Each structure stands twice: as structure tokens, then as C-alpha cells.
């Protein structure tokens, strides 16, 4: 017993210490693990079905050259041709290098040798036709699929579409709808082999992945292209730091185009989509905010657009702060209409101070009722947080009211400004901007996204009417006159805001400008609203009408010229017949139904027998009976001219005649002439026209 125990102990020591490493290596070689297989991510489409983002399959290709089905004879006879094919396809190694890889794997009994990573689907199909590999599952070819996200239109709406890459959190629409797009992963059993390499044990997955659903957006890639090109030209021309443009449908809130461009630090002519300014970058809006002030004045106090205000030389003092107009006024007294048209800071601030000076809470409450102090709740992550300064805030000063009235001391995003203007274009109904129309799976709608209403009526209908008059006046007679659009009317507002670093407006060189234009078109029946913002133009001009206005004009004119919604029909449909139609030979009751449905004058025959029109030039359809059935029963072929295929087949085949049809339409010629005798089983050829 002692000797037996000592022998066991000795063997344990040998296994543990002398052979331990070898046994561990063998154990690891047989280690198996179930790996999660990535599902194919769903596609993203524009409103017309154009592909905005898709997942392309790529493969890691390996070879098991020691598969049981590959015997020595097959390997020796095909290894050279296989190596040559691999060299011709991949071109990264010579034929001899590939031959050495294959021979070494064969000699060392290696069951998994990686040949190439990131192989396209097309190249994979070519690989499967190579010598040895063409044996299919028994040919030793091992593949592991991965998916790579691609955007066919590259930079167009890139930030809004977003990114989806392994290891990083998706952004844009990719991030907002990640759970829908990513699908459900599958499972595959893998075995660990030498060199910490995992190879699949089976050719098929244990559980196949379920592909993600598709996203159909509201974006129109054609309009997106127009908007991005127009904005890029303006940014390059004015050497601006960044800018954005957004086009939205008035009734639905559907975003048709959104572009955000930032100047490259390395190349002043290169702009990229690296940040979503329209959605995520709240700033002091400047003069475009004056619409909110005028809405508050009109809705609360019903001020007249002809109400006059003393603006003097375009300067005034509020405590120790001087307010100036960008351009000195041509008159010392301006109406509310002209104040808005010329974007007078002094005029707007004096009106707001006159009516709300004793109760600034009332003014702020009105701004809050426009939802300017709240996020829009856009599905895309990263929406900027707006701020309308409240009277109770610590940084509220005696000068806050007049400065807020002209677009300072508040923060709003471009998309919020656009939403306010869109509400006026939409007769007071504020709708939420949205980017997605539907989610589909295998072409079938899983979920639809309708229009979401934020506020049914933000101001009174009478206020909307006056506000539209104000904005249309800006383009016709005011700071937006330079747009010079003649094909259709536009309503909107220019904006020029000073943007200071850390709130310092006094230090020279510390202030940049933000030029903007926001409006709707066509003014008679608004279909679209658009906002354009260009930050820090450095080529002299920085006014909204001169810098941002041309971008708005180009977008509006191209959308107008390419949209069927704006085009009136050339030839109006006629609701009457100028000539009675041709009448084929058929049953009278059928002719009666057709004539009645088109309100054609018709003289009916109280019979279900076959008939045709008696005279072609009469003012109504008069019918005469045709004795087709009686003639056929007597074995005499009647005239079949004008009969439809349906009727002629019914008549002839019921009387034992074999019918051959040539052409389309109604019968024009028949091989057995009318009046000739026929027998059952005879063949007749009918030519139709």
C-alpha cells in the first residue's frame, strides 16, 4: 500500500511540475467558448428611399488546410494553383509566400491559418471558386463575418445621421435609434488554438443573428445637397468659422435638410460636419429674437403696427448702458412695422420697456409660453439646453429687459428659433421638428411617426396675421430686401448678433458676429421654413441679410423650382365629353352600366342580348340588336367585328369552335367569313386591333 501511494505521489509531482506546462497548453487548445455574433445593422433611408447609411459585410478569411477531406494527393496537385490565385486576388504577398504559408500549415498540422482580414463579399465569392476551396464546406475555407458602417453620400447630413462603430457610443440618428437598428446578436461556438487565436468549430452559427430594422427619415438627399452646397459657398466666401442651415416642412415639422459645417484648422477651404450646431449649440440669437418680442407685444396689448415710437438718432441709454442701432434711422420716429423691418434695437427695446417695464415677469412669462425656455425633446441625443433669463435669477439686472427684447442675455438653439417661426407660418400651431417617418422590417411598417403638436395655438389668430405682415415687410421693404426673390413671396427676419468671449463685449478683438436669416416661403401658402446661421464671418460683411440671406435665397429658389407642390397644372381637367366614345359590340346591360357611370346620353334596350351602336354621329348612344347566338346555333358564322376577347371566346367556344387570338383590342378580322357555315371542331383565327 505504501509503495502504491508513493508511486501515485511521484506521478502527481511529475504531472504537476515537469509536464505541467505541456498539459496546460493542451488544455487551453481544447478550450471552447460561445461568442456573440454581431447582427447586421439596419439601413437608414431618406424620404425618397435613397440609402443614407448601411452595413457592408467584411470577412476574416482563414484556411484549415488539414481538413479531413483534403488528402495529400489533392494538396500536392492544387497547392501551387491555390497560392497563385491568392496572390492574384489579394496582391499583398507573392505566390511563393502564400505557398510557404500553406505548406507550413500542412506540415505543422495547423487547423486555422488567417489568410486575410477585411475581405469584401465579392472577393469572398471569388475565393470560393479557388482550387481546394471550391469543395465548399469540405474545402477548408473558414470565414468570420464582421460589418462595417458606410454612408453612401459621405458628408451629406453626416452629423445628423451619426456614427456607429464598435467600442464607441453611437451618435446622431444612429445613437437615437441604436436599439432598433442594431438587431439581436447570434451565437457561435469557438475553440481557442495556439497563439490565443479563436476559430469557429462549426461552419454554421449555433444561433443566427437577427438583423436590425430599417429607419426611414424625413431628410431629402436632393434638398440636403442643395443646402450643404449653398452653405459651404457662403462659409468659404466669408471665411467664417462655422455655420448651419435647416429646412423644415411647415405643416408636419419634418426636417428635409440639415447641414452643419466647421472650418478645418489645417485648411481654410475645407469644412466638415463635426458638430451639430443646429441642434446642440444654444447662443444669443440677436435680431431674429425680435419676432418673439413683437409677438408678446401684439398678443398681450394688441399694439397697432402703425404705433409710432421715438428712436432719435438710433441711440438710447438704459441706466449706464448705451444701446445702438446697427444703422442710424432715416427718420426720428418709426412705426412698429418700420421698427421691425429695419431691425431697430432702440425701437424694439423702447416698445417692450413701455408695455412691460413695470411688469417684466409678464414679458418673460409670454416668452416661456412660446416654449423657448424648454428643450424640444428631439430624439437625437445632445440637444442644447436653452435659457430665457428669469426675473428671479441672480444675474437679472435693470438692463436685462431691453437687452433680452433684442436677442441678448438669452440662449436658444437654431432649431428652437426655426420652430417659433414655423409656428407663425403654420397659423399659430407649433409642431415639433422630427427626423424620422417610419421604422420598417422587411419592407413592412413596424412604427410610424406622425406630426407631434407642441402647442395648438401659441398666439391669437389676429397676432399671427400681424406677425406675417411684419416678416413679409422685412423682405419687401426692410433689411431682407436684398434677397430679391421675384418668383414667390417670402416672409422672414434678418439677424446680426455680437458674440463675446466670456461675456466681455468691451475688449477689442473679443467680439465676433453671428449672421442669420430665418423665414418661410411661399408667403401666400407657406410650405417650408428655413434658418441659416453663419458664425464669425471675417471678410468685412457680417450682417444677416448680406451673409446668411443669399444662402436662404439659393435654398428657397432651388426647392421652389424642383417641387411639384408649387407648380400649377398647365391644362385643367375637363369634366365633360366633347365627342361620344366608340362603342364595342357587347351585351346591352353592360353598356348601360358604363354609360350611366360616365353620364353619357344612352338609349337602352331592355334586353341582355348582344348589341352595338346604330349610328356613330348621333348625340346619344342608340343600340341595335345583333343576333349572334341565333346564327351560331344554325351553324352560320356571324360578323364578329367589334367584339371583345371575353365575349368572342364565350360565344365561339360554347358552340364548339377552336379559337386562336392574334393581337390586342377588339376583333377586326376573322378567318371564317361572316355568313359561311362551320362545324364543331373548326378552327377560327381572329385578328384584334
Tens digits of residue pLDDT in 96-109: 999 998 888 888 88
Q: What is the pLDDT of residue 618?
A: 62
What's the pLDDT tens digit per position in 422-465?
999 999 999 999 999 999 998 899 999 989 999 999 999 999 99
Which residues are within 8 A (CB) of 511 and not within 5 positions of it... i.e. 6 or more apart? 498, 499, 500, 501, 505
What's the pLDDT tens digit per position in 301-338?
999 999 999 999 999 999 999 999 988 888 999 999 99
3-state secondary structure of 508: coil
User: Which of the listed ranges 280-284, 441-445, 486-490 does the model predict with the highest average pLDDT?
Assistant: 280-284
Q: What is the pLDDT of residue 647?
A: 84
Contact 485, 517 (CB under 8 A): no
Q: Is the pLDDT of residue 569 over 70?
A: no
| Predicted TM-score of the model (pTM) | 0.72
Element (H, E) at 248: strand 242-249
What's the pLDDT tens digit per position in 150-196?
888 888 888 899 887 666 777 899 999 988 998 877 777 777 665 55
Nearest to 546 by CA among 556, 532, 529, 558: 532
Q: What is the pLDDT of residue 487?
A: 85
Band of pLDDT at residue 689, cut at 50, 70 and 90: confident
Nearest to 566 by CA among 519, 518, 527: 527
CB atoms within 10 A of CB 83: 23
CA distance 614 to 601: 14
Percentage, residues of the chain above pLDDT 70: 89
Positive or negative, the Cα torsion across 137, 143, 144, 148? negative
| Burial degree of 481 (CB within 10 A; 0-12, 13-18, 19+) | middle
Any bridge partners for residue 148, and if so which? 56
Q: What is the CA radius of gyration of the chain?
A: 39
What's the pLDDT tens digit per position in 296-309?
999 999 999 999 99
CA distance 327 to 481: 15
Q: Is the pLDDT of residue 645 over 90?
A: no
3-state secondary structure of 435: coil
CA distance 205 to 407: 60
| Secondary structure string (H, E, C) spanning 393-421 | CCCCCCCHHHHHHCCCCEEECHHHHHHHH
Which residues are within 8 A (CB) of 4 and not within 5 positions of it... i.e. 6 or more apart? none
Average pLDDT of the chain is: 86
What's the pLDDT tens digit per position in 593-624?
887 777 777 776 666 677 766 666 566 677 77
Contact 323, 346 (CB under 8 A): yes
Q: What is the pLDDT of residue 562?
A: 80
Band of pLDDT at residue 395, cut at 50, 70 and 90: very high
Q: Is the pLDDT of residue 201 over 80?
A: no
Nearest to 669 by CA among 653, 657, 685: 685
What's the pLDDT tens digit per position in 578-598?
567 777 777 777 777 887 777
Task: Kindly provide the b/e burial profile for residues 177-199, where b requires at least 16 CB atoms within 10 angstroms of the residue's own CB.
Answer: bbebbbbeebebebbbbeeeebb
Element (H, E) at 660: strand 658-662
Amino acid at each position: 500500500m505504501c509503495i502504491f501511494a508513493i508511486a501515485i505521489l511521484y506521478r502527481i509531482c511529475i504531472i504537476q511540475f515537469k509536464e505541467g506546462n505541456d498539459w496546460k497548453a493542451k488544455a487551453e487548445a481544447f478550450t471552447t467558448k460561445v461568442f456573440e455574433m454581431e447582427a447586421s445593422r439596419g439601413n437608414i433611408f431618406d424620404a425618397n428611399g435613397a440609402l443614407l447609411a448601411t452595413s457592408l459585410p467584411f470577412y476574416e478569411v482563414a484556411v484549415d488546410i488539414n481538413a479531413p477531406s483534403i488528402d495529400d494527393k489533392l494538396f500536392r496537385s492544387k497547392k501551387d494553383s491555390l497560392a497563385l490565385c491568392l496572390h492574384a486576388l489579394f496582391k499583398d504577398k507573392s505566390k511563393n509566400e502564400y505557398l510557404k504559408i500553406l505548406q507550413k500549415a500542412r506540415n505543422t498540422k495547423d487547423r486555422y491559418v488567417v489568410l486575410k482580414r477585411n475581405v469584401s463579399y465579392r472577393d469572398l465569392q471569388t475565393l470560393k471558386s479557388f482550387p481546394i476551396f471550391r469543395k465548399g464546406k469540405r474545402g477548408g475555407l473558414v470565414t468570420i463575418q464582421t460589418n462595417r458602417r458606410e454612408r453612401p453620400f459621405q458628408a451629406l447630413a453626416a452629423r445628423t445621421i451619426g456614427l456607429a462603430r464598435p467600442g464607441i457610443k453611437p451618435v446622431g440618428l444612429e445613437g437615437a435609434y441604436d436599439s432598433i437598428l442594431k438587431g439581436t446578436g447570434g451565437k457561435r461556438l469557438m475553440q481557442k488554438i495556439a497563439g490565443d487565436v479563436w476559430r469557429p468549430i462549426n461552419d454554421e452559427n449555433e444561433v443566427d443573428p437577427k438583423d436590425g430594422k430599417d429607419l426611414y427619415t424625413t431628410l431629402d438627399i436632393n434638398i440636403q445637397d442643395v443646402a450643404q452646397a449653398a452653405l459651404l459657398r457662403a462659409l468659404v466666401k466669408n471665411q467664417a468659422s462655422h455655420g448651419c442651415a435647416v429646412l423644415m416642412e411647415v405643416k408636419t415639422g419634418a426636417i428635409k435638410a440639415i447641414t452643419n459645417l466647421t472650418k478645418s484648422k489645417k485648411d481654410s477651404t475645407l469644412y466638415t460636419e463635426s458638430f451639430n450646431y443646429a441642434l446642440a449649440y444654444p447662443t444669443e440669437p440677436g435680431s431674429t429674437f425680435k419676432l418673439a418680442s413683437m409677438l408678446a407685444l401684439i398678443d398681450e396689448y394688441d399694439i397697432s403696427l402703425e404705433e409710432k415710437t421715438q428712436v432719435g438718432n438710433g441711440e438710447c441709454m438704459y441706466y449706464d448702458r448705451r444701446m445702438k442701432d446697427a444703422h442710424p434711422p432715416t427718420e426720428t420716429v418709426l412705426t412698429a412695422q418700420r421698427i421691425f423691418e429695419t431691425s431697430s434695437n432702440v425701437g424694439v427695446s423702447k416698445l417692450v420697456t413701455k408695455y412691460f417695464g413695470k411688469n417684466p415677469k409678464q414679458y418673460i412669462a409670454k416668452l416661456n409660453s412660446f416654449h423657448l425656455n424648454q428643450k424640444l425633446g428631439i430624439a437625437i441625443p445632445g440637444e442644447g439646453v436653452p435659457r430665457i433669463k428669469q426675473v428671479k435669477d441672480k444675474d437679472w439686472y435693470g438692463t436685462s429687459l431691453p437687452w433680452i427684447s433684442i436677442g441678448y442675455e438669452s440662449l436658444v438653439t437654431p432649431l428652437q428659433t426655426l420652430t417659433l417661426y414655423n409656428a407663425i407660418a403654420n397659423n399659430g400651431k407649433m409642431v415639433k421638428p422630427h427626423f424620422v417617418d417610419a421604422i420598417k422590417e422587411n419592407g413592412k411598417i413596424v412604427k410610424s411617426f406622425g406630426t407631434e403638436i407642441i402647442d395648438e395655438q401659441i398666439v391669437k389668430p389676429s397676432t399671427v396675421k400681424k406677425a406675417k405682415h411684419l416678416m413679409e415687410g422685412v423682405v419687401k421693404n426692410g433689411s431682407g430686401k436684398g434677397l430679391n426673390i421675384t418668383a414667390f413671396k417670402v416672409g422672414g427676419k434678418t439677424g446680426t448678433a455680437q458674440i463675446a468671449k466670456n461675456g466681455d463685449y468691451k475688449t477689442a478683438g473679443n467680439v465676433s458676429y453671428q449672421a442669420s436669416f430665418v423665414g418661410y416661403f411661399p408667403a401666400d401658402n407657406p410650405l417650408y421654413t428655413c434658418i441659416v446661421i453663419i458664425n464669425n464671418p471675417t471678410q468685412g460683411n457680417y450682417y444677416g441679410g448680406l451673409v446668411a440671406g443669399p444662402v436662404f435665397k439659393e435654398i428657397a429658389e432651388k426647392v421652389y423650382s424642383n417641387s411639384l407642390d408649387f407648380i400649377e397644372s398647365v391644362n385643367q381637367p375637363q369634366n365633360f365629353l366633347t365627342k361620344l366614345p366608340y362603342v364595342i359590340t357587347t351585351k346591352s346591360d353592360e353598356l348601360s352600366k358604363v354609360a350611366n357611370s360616365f353620364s353619357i346620353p344612352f338609349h337602352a334596350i331592355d334586353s341582355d342580348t348582344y348589341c352595338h351602336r346604330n349610328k356613330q354621329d348621333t348625340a346619344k348612344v342608340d343600340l341595335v340588336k345583333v343576333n349572334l347566338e341565333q346564327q351560331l346555333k344554325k351553324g352560320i358564322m356571324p360578323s364578329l367585328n367589334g367584339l371583345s376577347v371575353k365575349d368572342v371566346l364565350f360565344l365561339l367556344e360554347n358552340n364548339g369552335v377552336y379559337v386562336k387570338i392574334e393581337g390586342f383590342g377588339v376583333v377586326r378580322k376573322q378567318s371564317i367569313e361572316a355568313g359561311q357555315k362551320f362545324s364543331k371542331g373548326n378552327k377560327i383565327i381572329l385578328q384584334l386591333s
